[in-house]
């Protein structure tokens, strides 16, 4: 569908990439990867037509439509979110406008049998047919479902777009691209401003999308689940793998290893050739031989290896001092802004060694909860720290607190303690500060670079309780893996807010979820949490009221029941009533038992792994039984409604 022919981009400092020839086929799902600064975003700009290559050509079919999501969205409109999408399809807008004009004219006219009237009727039929072919009658429903999938609430659909933050404007722009179904969708870091549930929704949408998709992302799981082909920009060229990210990465590692062996052999041959040249170049009878060796050496294409040392780097957060049995206690804690309540009635004790993921849709109050814990915001209730607790807090705006007068190296050198000081350049390299970058002043760093430096500084600071608000923003996949391994080996307690499922998987032993102004504790991993949320979302699509309508429609054709039918109905009704009563009693018992266990878990010593695993396992079993009884209760309730 799209062909790149010997494409190159030349900058003042040299080529970004050159001589790239590539074919993008119908329906391709491609992950575009490579280190920061190699030209991934530039490549999307070229394909979208937003910029032109310095050399070469890009061939696209004339009717090829492209939807392009950039990282620097600029939307300046007072339109509502819904209207912004509603009027984004020019074809449907024009058709709808003309249909309205004709309908208005037909209402006003009385010459029903005139040729002009009949011509208008014919045009109206043709327009309605074309409107239907373009799925115009499903247009508003499609807009609504897409916006809801990306996290907008029903009330927000009709709010003016200029009242939303940049992250929410990005969601609106993404929704506009999706509903218009272009032939190719280009996405530059689409998950940066999405919450964990919206990412899962987008992932499922793109997997089933019939058109082509090219995506830049630092979310490994997102790439694995959406893409089937990986393009890597490396050393000014492009490598093409017919696999998703993880398989590509494994094959790439094998290839780098083979190249490493080949380079060793080549280096040995080059060294031997140089020795021969030095030996014979001064001898007259061997001078011609030496010259031929020199020419051979000049023509040799040197093997260059990617530096993959960061992937194998192991960093540990230093522990300052062992705290007491519990590190944090919240009593009746809450926060309200004016009339808007985010959460209240939070009563929790956090034990030593707990690893907590704080999840919830954007705007539910995750960052606010962390600020209440830190004492940066006032609110209802109290927050108390345990004995010897030493908190380090990484806020989303942490970069603003850096000293602009220091260099990158000086910033971390002030913080680091102990053995890690010997490898400060290596640690900085893991967070993408390499070579001369470490001598840059903080004042000249970009927003993303400042955030990475602030996180690196935090990683080197001794503590026993970490609170991290979106630490993985602006990190590439390798840097995130370095951070994850450091957190997994951390001996203290941490609470982390992140929408990166791959990063959270296997990292935490608790989930705090903020939903409907409540903080709920889930004692299972991220995968199980998302699975349950997806199942719940699916069940919501067939509510009791809808089933009641189906039941009424089914009965409308035969209002009289026979004696046997009535007898069977009563039997089923008694059975369902028994199940309902039985489940209600069981639910009551389980909820009381879970409440007791909540107190046990709050005081649990997680340093005793065997005991902790046993208690948590029993607690999970109670929660699972409760879910099963709730399901039985719902099925019995719905069954009774259908029988009425």
Q: Which two tokens stand for residue 79?
A: 């339109």
Q: Determine contact, residues 214/24, Cβ cutoff 8 Å.
A: yes
Say how far apart CA 629 and CA 177 lie, in whole Å. Answer: 42
Indicate whether 633 pLDDT > 90.
no
CB 641 within 8 A of CB 544: yes
> What is the b/e burial string over 615-632, where b = at least 16 CB atoms within 10 angstroms of the residue's CB?
bbeebeebbebbeebeeb
Q: Which of 349, 606, 374, 415 is nearest to 497 (CA)?
A: 374
With a cut of 80, say whether residue 581 has pLDDT above it: no
Q: What does the domain layout of the chain look like in residue ranges?
A: 326-527, 542-643
What tokens does 88 get? 């984004």
Query: 523 or 47: whose pLDDT is higher?
Result: 47
Tokens 């840097």 appear where?
A: 479
Contacts 24+ apart (CB under 8 A), 565-571: 569/643
Which pLDDT score is estimated for 585?
Answer: 81
Q: Which is higher by pLDDT, 304 or 18?
A: 18
Q: How far apart are CA 574 and CA 285, in angstroms?
A: 111
Question: Residue 538: which pLDDT band, with cuts at 50, 70 and 90?
Answer: low
**In this predicted structure, what is the pLDDT of residue 546?**
42
The whole-angstrom distance between residue 391's C-alpha and the CA centroid of its chain comes to: 27
3-state helix, strand, coil in the chain (%, to 5): 50, 20, 30
CATH of span 326-527: 3.40.50.300
Phi, psi (deg, nearest 5) at residue 29: -115, 105
Helix (H, G, I), strand (E, B) or coil at 111: coil
Burial class (CB in 10 A: 0-12, 13-18, 19+), 325: middle
Of 249, 273, 204, which is closest to residue 29 (Cα–Cα)? Answer: 204
β-pair type (465-469, 493-497): parallel
Question: pLDDT at residue 602 above 70?
Answer: no
pTM, full prediction = 0.69
In the numeric block, which tokens belong to residue 67? Answer: 């939807």
Q: How far apart (Å, rounded) are the C-alpha atoms in residues 22 and 5?
A: 7
- pLDDT tens digits for 350-397? 999 999 999 988 778 888 999 999 988 899 999 999 999 999 898 877
- pLDDT-derived band at 312 (thresholds 50, 70, 90) equals low
pLDDT at 203: 92
Q: Give 351-363 pLDDT, tens digit per residue.
A: 999 999 999 887 7
CA dist 520 → 111, 333, 494, 589, 607 (Å): 67, 14, 17, 20, 24
CB 103 within 8 A of CB 124: yes
Per-residue confidence at 606, pLDDT binned at 50, 70, 90?
Answer: low
pLDDT at 643: 66
How far is residue 398's CA from residue 527's CA, in Å, rounded to a whole number?
29
Average pLDDT over residues 92-111: 88
Q: Is the pLDDT of residue 465 over 70?
A: yes
What is residue 311's DSSP assignment?
G
Q: Which residue has the tokens 């009791």?
A: 544
Phi, psi at residue 244, to the nearest 5°?
Answer: -70, 175
Task: Judge whether 136 and 100 are in contact, CB under 8 Å.
Answer: no
Q: Which residue has the tokens 């979302």?
A: 537
Q: What percent of the chain has pLDDT over 70?
A: 90
- Alpha-carbon span 204 to 268, nearest angstrom: 51
* pLDDT at residue 448 tops 80: no
Res. 536 pLDDT band, cuts 50 70 90: low
Dist. CA 296–CA 290, nearest whole Å: 10
Nearest to 39 by CA among 66, 65, 7, 64: 7
d(CA 421, CA 15): 36
pLDDT of residue 559: 35
Mean pLDDT computed over 570-595: 77
Q: Please choose, from the candidates 349, 345, 351, 348, the residue with its C-alpha nearest in 3D space to the C-alpha of residue 333.
A: 345
* pLDDT, tens digit (0-9, with 9 covering 90-100), for 121-175: 889 899 989 988 888 889 999 999 999 999 898 888 998 998 887 888 999 999 9
Pseudo-torsion of CA 628, 629, 632, 638, nearest 10°?
-120
- Confidence category of residue 64, pLDDT binned at 50, 70, 90: very high
Please state whether beta strands 2-11 and 66-69 pair in parallel, antiparallel, or not at all (unpaired): unpaired
Q: Residues 385, 400: contact at Cβ < 8 Å?
A: no
C-alpha distances out from residue 277 to 265, 267, 284, 298, 303, Å: 19, 15, 13, 12, 21
Query: For 466-519, how does the pLDDT look when each residue is reduced to its tens digit (9 = 90+)?
Result: 999 888 877 778 778 888 888 888 889 999 999 888 899 889 888 999 988 889
- Report helix, strand or coil for 407: strand
**CB environment 336-353: b (16+ within 10 A), e (fewer):** eeeeeebbbebeebbbbb
If 0-12 CB within 10 Å is exposed, 13-18 middle and 19+ buried, where does residue 434 land?
A: middle
How far is 359 from 601, CA to CA, in rounded Å? 20
Residue whose pair of structure tokens reads 């010897």 in the numeric block: 388
Question: What letter does residue 54 receive in the DSSP assignment?
Answer: S
Distance in angstroms (rounded) separating the CA atoms of residues 402 and 404: 6
Closest CA to 183 of 143, 214, 145, 138: 214
Q: Give ∠ CA 36-39-45 in degrees, rounded to 5.
A: 130
Give CA–CA dist 27/241, Å, rounded: 16
């Amino acid at each position: 569908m799209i062909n790149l022919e010997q494409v190159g981009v030349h900058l003042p400092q040299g080529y970004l990439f050159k001589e790239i020839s590539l074919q993008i086929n119908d329906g391709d799902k491609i992950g575009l990867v490579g280190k920061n600064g190699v030209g991934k975003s530039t490549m999307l700009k070229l394909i979208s037509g937003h910029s032109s290559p310095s050399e070469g050509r890009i061939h696209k079919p004339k009717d090829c439509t492209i939807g392009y999501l950039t990282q620097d969205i600029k939307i300046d409109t007072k339109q509502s979110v819904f209207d912004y999408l509603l009027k984004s399809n020019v074809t449907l807008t024009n058709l709808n406008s003309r249909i309205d004009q004709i309908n208005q004219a037909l209402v006003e006219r009385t010459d029903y049998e005139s040729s002009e009237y009949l011509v208008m009727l014919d045009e109206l039929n043709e327009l309605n047919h074309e409107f239907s072919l373009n799925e115009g009658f499903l247009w508003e429903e499609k807009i609504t479902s897409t916006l809801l999938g990306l996290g907008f609430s029903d009330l927000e659909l009709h709010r003016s777009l200029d009242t939303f933050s940049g992250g929410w404007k990005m969601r609106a722009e993404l929704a506009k691209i999706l509903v218009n179904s272009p032939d190719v969708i280009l996405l530059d870091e689409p998950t940066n401003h999405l919450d964990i549930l919206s990412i899962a929704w987008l992932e499922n949408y793109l997997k089933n999308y019939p058109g082509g998709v090219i995506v830049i992302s630092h979310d490994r799981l997102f790439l694995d689940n959406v893409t089937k082909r990986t393009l890597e920009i490396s050393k000014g060229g492009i490598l093409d793998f017919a696999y998703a990210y993880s398989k590509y990465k494994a094959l790439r590692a094998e290839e780098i290893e083979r190249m490493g062996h080949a380079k060793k052999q080549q280096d040995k041959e080059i060294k031997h050739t140089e020795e021969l040249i030095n030996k014979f170049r001064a001898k007259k009878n061997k001078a011609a031989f030496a010259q031929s060796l020199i020419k051979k050496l000049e023509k040799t294409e040197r093997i260059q290896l990617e530096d993959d040392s960061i992937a194998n780097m192991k960093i540990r957060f230093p522990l300052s001092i062992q705290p007491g049995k519990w590190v944090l206690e919240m009593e009746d804690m809450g926060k309200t802004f004016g009339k808007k309540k985010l959460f209240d009635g939070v009563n929790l004790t956090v034990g030593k060694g707990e690893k907590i993921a704080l999840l919830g849709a954007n705007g539910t109050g995750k960052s606010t909860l962390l600020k209440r814990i830190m004492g940066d915001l006032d609110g209802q209730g109290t927050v108390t720290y345990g004995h010897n607790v030493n908190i380090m807090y990484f806020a989303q705006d942490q970069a603003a607190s850096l000293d602009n007068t220091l260099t990158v190296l000086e910033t971390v050198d002030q913080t680091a303690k102990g053995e890690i000081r010997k490898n400060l350049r290596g640690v900085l390299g893991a967070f993408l500060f390499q070579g001369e970058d470490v001598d840059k002043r903080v004042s000249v760093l970009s927003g993303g670079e400042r955030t990475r430096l602030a996180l690196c500084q935090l990683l080197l600071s001794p503590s026993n309780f970490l609170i991290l608000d979106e630490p993985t923003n602006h990190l590439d996949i390798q840097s995130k893996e370095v951070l994850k391994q450091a957190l997994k080996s951390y001996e203290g307690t941490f609470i982390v807010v992140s929408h990166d499922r791959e990063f959270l998987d296997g990292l935490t032993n608790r989930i705090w979820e903020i939903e409907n102004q409540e903080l709920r504790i889930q004692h299972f991993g991220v995968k199980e949490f998302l699975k349950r949320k997806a199942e719940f979302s699916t069940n919501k699509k067939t509510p009791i009221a809808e089933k009641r309508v189906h039941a009424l429609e089914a009965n409308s054709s035969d209002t009289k029941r026979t004696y046997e039918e009535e007898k069977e109905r009563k039997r089923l009704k008694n059975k369902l009533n028994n199940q309902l009563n039985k489940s209600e009693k069981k639910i009551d018992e389980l909820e009381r038992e879970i409440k007791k266990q909540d107190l046990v878990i709050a005081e649990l010593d997680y340093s005793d792994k065997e005991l902790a695993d046993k208690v948590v396992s029993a607690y999970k079993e109670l929660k699972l039984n409760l879910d099963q009884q709730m399901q039985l209760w719902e099925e019995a309730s719905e069954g009774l409604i259908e029988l009425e």
